């Protein structure tokens, strides 16, 4: 007979906390909100969605965005599986970023959030 055992590590990985409104917030939720709260993240995601795949184009289209912040944000978005980086073996080197399926789903969510905000302003 196979017993269903729960390891302590499983419990800590699935640990949930309840906020005042009763919604369960997972660690993944907290990490995602940490990514999204950066001033430039949503603008970068929107730029990628509009086809601005090269960092130089994104930086040109987003005045005030430094190359360091852009690089940091793109790395963070890549680590969360929202964007994919593709390096081309060319001279000079060329790098492009595209939204993954998860990143494209985030665009839909951001669109819904924008609609909500506009409706209730």
Which domains are assigned to the chain? 18-119 (1.10.10.10)
Q: Taking a C-beta distance cutoff of 8 angstroms, is the pair 49, 104 a contact?
A: yes
Residues 6+ apart with CB under 8 A from 97: 48, 53, 54, 55, 74, 77, 78, 83, 84, 85, 86
pTM for this model (two decimals): 0.76
Q: Taking a C-beta distance cutoff of 8 angstroms, is the pair 113, 42 a contact?
A: no
User: Could you list the pLDDT tens digit for every one of the 121 residues in the chain?
Assistant: 444 444 444 444 444 445 555 567 788 888 888 888 888 999 999 999 999 999 999 999 999 999 999 999 999 999 999 999 999 999 999 999 999 999 999 999 999 999 999 999 8
């Amino acid at each position: 007979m196979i017993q269903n055992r729960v390891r302590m590590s499983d419990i800590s990985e699935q640990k949930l906390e309840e906020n005042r409104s009763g919604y369960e917030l997972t660690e993944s939720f907290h990490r995602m909100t940490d990514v999204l709260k950066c001033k430039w993240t949503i603008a970068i995601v929107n730029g990628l969605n509009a086809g601005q795949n090269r960092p130089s184009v994104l930086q040109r289209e987003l005045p005030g965005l430094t190359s360091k912040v852009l690089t940091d944000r793109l790395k963070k978005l890549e680590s969360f599986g929202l964007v994919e980086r593709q390096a081309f073996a060319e001279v000079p080197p060329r790098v492009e970023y595209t939204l993954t399926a998860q990143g494209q789903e985030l665009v839909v969510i951001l669109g819904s959030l924008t609609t909500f905000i506009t409706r209730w302003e």
